[in-house]
Amino acid sequence: MHPRSKIPHWIWNLNLMTKLNFFLWLVIRNALLTCEFLIARRMEISNMCCLCNHNRENIDHIFKSCLFVQGIWDRIKFNCPTSLLFEGDFLSWIETVYKNYKINCKIFNSPMEKFAIILWNGWIHRNQIVFKKIQPNPFLVIEKATSNFQNL
């Protein structure tokens, strides 16, 4: 878990529903109920990522390193080099996104809010795969996130 002092203050200033600010706080605190988190608390479950079935599921993997989510980020086109976007640990990555938050996409006017919405919809999709046994589909995440953007 990241030290509390490293939680960036700007997450509370984002124009989001409170549940999304709190979700982002959980993500940054590495406190989401991922497989890695649950196994560390002695739950006997598979540690495999349900999105790709190739790597251990942790915060870094399901939001940044997983090929499934990289397909989503690739379609979103951040205005900074992709290599920079995917370097470093998760907190560094979020800080990089924050510092480079201009996104080359017409529909994106509030980049960090939209970044948080994409994370949120990725997490919801992951939970639907785990609990409702739907098939992984990056286009569903993009479609749902895009509809959420209209409420910003």
Q: Taking CB under 5 A as the rule, does residue 28 contact Zn ion?
A: no
Please, what is the minimum distance in Å from the beta carbon of residue 42 to Zn ion?
23
Q: Taking CB under 5 A as the rule, does residue 50 contact Zn ion?
A: no
Q: Taking CB under 5 A as the rule, does residue 35 contact Zn ion?
A: no
Q: Rounded distance, CA 141 to CA 121, Å?
A: 6
In DSSP notation, 78-111 reads: BSS-HHHHT-S-HHHHHHHHHHT--BS-TT-SSH
Question: What's the token pair of residue 125?
Answer: 């999709």
Contact code string over 58-77 relative to Zn ion, x by CB under 5 A:
--------x-----------
Q: Kindly report the backbone phi and psi dihedral angles of residue 115, in degrees, each rounded to the nearest multiple of 5, phi listed first.
A: -60, -45
Q: Taking CB under 5 A as the rule, does residue 11 contact Zn ion?
A: no
Q: Which stretch binds Zn ion (CB under 5 A): 52-60, 79-87, 117-125, 138-146?
A: 52-60
